[in-house]
Amino acid sequence: MKTVEIATGTIPGTYIMPKLMADFRREHPDVYPRVLVCDSLEATRLVETNMVDLAAVGTLRFLSVGEDELPFLIKEGFRIGIIGEEELVLVVPPDHELAEKEEVSVEELKGIDYVNREPGSGTRREVERFLREHGMSFDDFNVVQELGSTDAVIKAVAQGAGVSIVSEIAAQDYAEKGDVVVVRLKERPKRKLYAIRAKEPKNPDLADEVFEFIVEEELEP
């Protein structure tokens, strides 16, 4: 049995990789994926230091280089590709005043009670980017809690703790059960999910095979 070690952020690790790995194993039953679900910051650190073969993350903003330096990183031997794209949406309790709205602008959320992810979260980093693009930050909200997973954030929202901007993929199940209401943001923020292959994976051929199976589009240097 060949082993491939993968570190993932919460969203790709919970909602994307299980199906991809199940599909991969149907074609390669001799491969044993070992998946560590952490957050995007930790997953990025692990793959950059060759502690795992691959990472699946919700942002590239935790890499040790800026986005304009990605071609250099790729030329150095890393491989980076897109494994998905999603919208970031607002979740609110069913009895919240915003629950009747189909969409709101982010400006309308100033001063609202807000439940946040931890600083290592890819979702949080992408929400920070979105807010910054619109002249805002988390300081414009009344942040009442900081929690270590998207599931915990949505459950806190369901209990009336506040609202949050989260992964649409993660929010769907809770919205279908009526635990929360999904409200679209007028700005329609989107983010990509990425796979990163380590510069020096333990089994380069296997790491490449998994990478090429899960990636929709590889970034070029």
pLDDT single digits (tens) 32-82: 999 999 999 999 999 999 999 999 999 999 998 777 777 778 888 899 999
| CA 4/CA 85 separation, integer angstroms | 24
Confidence grade of residue 181 (pLDDT, cut at 50, 70, 90) = very high
Contact indicator for 124, 137 with CB cutoff of 8 Å: no
| CA 40/CA 210 separation, integer angstroms | 19
| CA 134/CA 126 separation, integer angstroms | 13
In sequence order, which ranges of 49-121 are alpha helices (DSSP H)? 70-75
Confidence grade of residue 98 (pLDDT, cut at 50, 70, 90) = very high
Both structure tokens of 56: 């699946």
Confidence grade of residue 14 (pLDDT, cut at 50, 70, 90) = very high
Both structure tokens of 76: 């150095």
Domains, the chain:
2-84+192-218 (3.40.190.10), 87-191 (3.40.190.10)
Confidence grade of residue 217 (pLDDT, cut at 50, 70, 90) = very high
